[in-house]
Amino acid sequence: MTRTLVLAIIPLLLVMASCAHGMRARDIRTKDVTYQIDGKDFHGVMAWDETAGKRPGVLVCHEWWGNNEYSASRARQLAELGYTAFALDMYGAGKVTTDPKQAGEWAGEVNKTPGAMRTRSVAGLNVLRSDPHVDTHRLAAIGYCFGGSVALDAARSGAAGDGLRAIVCFHTSTLTTQAPADNTNIKGRVLVCHGDADTFVQPDMIPNFERQMKDAGVRYDIKRYPGAVHAFTNPGADAFHLPGVKYDKAADEQSWADMKALFAQAL
In this predicted model, what pLDDT tens digit does every residue of 131-155 receive, in sequence order?
Answer: 999 999 999 999 999 999 999 999 9
pLDDT digits (tens, 9 = 90+) for 151-170: 999 999 999 999 999 999 99
103 pLDDT more than 60: yes
The pLDDT, as a whole number, for residue 24 is: 62
261 pLDDT more than 70: yes
- Choice between 69 and 52, residue whose per-residue pLDDT is larger: 69
Tell me the one-letter amino acid at 160: A
Pairing verdict, β 28-37 and 40-49: antiparallel
Q: For 207-210, which contacts have Cβ atoms below 8 Å and span 24 or more sequence positions? A: 208/175, 208/176, 209/175, 209/176
- Residue 152 burial by CB count (10 A; 0-12/13-18/19+): exposed, middle or buried? buried
Please state the φ and ψ torsions of residue 182, each to the nearest 5 degrees: -65, -25
The pLDDT, as a whole number, for residue 1 is: 47
Percent of the chain with pLDDT over 90: 90
DSSP label at residue 26: P
Tell me the one-letter amino acid at 259: M
Contact 106, 91 (CB under 8 A): yes
Angle CA 211–190–162, to nearest 5:
110
Q: What is the pTM of this model?
A: 0.91
The pLDDT, as a whole number, for residue 14 is: 44
Tell me the one-letter amino acid at 106: W
94 pLDDT more than 60: yes
**Does an H or E element contain 141, and which?**
strand 134-144
Contact 248, 225 (CB under 8 A): yes
Average pLDDT over residues 73-78: 98
Contact 254, 232 (CB under 8 A): no
- The rounded distance, in Å, linking the Cα atoms of 24 and 116 is 42
